[in-house]
Amino acid sequence: MYRIPRFRVQLVRESTHATATRTISAPVDAFEILREYLDSQDRETFVVLLLDTRNAVIGLHVASIGTLNASLVHPREVFKVAFLANAASLIAAHNHPSGDCSPSQEDLALTARLKQAGELLGLPVVDHLIIGDGHFVSLKERGLL
């Protein structure tokens, strides 16, 4: 007789992240939440802010930690935690340890892929921020999302 594994999916809180900002009304709000965390990373780190229906942040997830100038990100890793947390939307963000916040072609391609996946799954990507050296670029503000 073949035995089929039965799984239970569970979201586990690892820690908390202190911030004065709870609700996102502009890209600068997301930047203020993520600035300290991402500016301190020495490698490219891709994170996801999970939002409820009122754009209140309900969670922060590190989807990928890469190298000095690259991070491998797959939509599966970005959206998995968003579904588990019952997020209504999300904001993607990553740092450029060089301090140059200019989006690369890879950043633009990933953003387009995440946007397309979010539309298909009914979980929109509200913005994608690139953070470096105390500054940020919002791909939404630049019309690139």
DSSP assignment of 108-128:
HHHHHHHHHHHHHHT--EEEE
* Cβ-contact 48, 64 below 8 angstroms: no
**pLDDT tens across the length of the chain (145 residues):** 989 988 887 888 888 878 888 899 999 999 999 998 888 888 899 999 999 999 999 999 999 988 766 678 999 999 999 999 999 999 999 999 989 999 999 999 999 999 999 999 999 999 999 999 899 999 999 999 8
In this structure, the strands spanning 57-65 and 125-132 are: unpaired
Q: What is the pLDDT of residue 70?
A: 66
Encoding tokens for residue 101? 């916040």
Reference 50, options 38, 68, 62, 67; nearest CA is 62
The pLDDT of residue 42 = 87
At residue 91, what are phi and psi to the nearest 5 degrees?
A: -120, 125
Tell me the domain boundaries of the chain. 27-132
- How confident is the model at residue 21, as a pLDDT? 83
- pTM, entire model: 0.90
Query: What is the fold, at CATH topology level, of the domain defined by 27-132?
Result: Cytidine Deaminase; domain 2 (3.40.140)
| Per-residue pLDDT at 68 | 67
Beta bridge partners of 117: none
The whole-number pLDDT of residue 78 equals 93
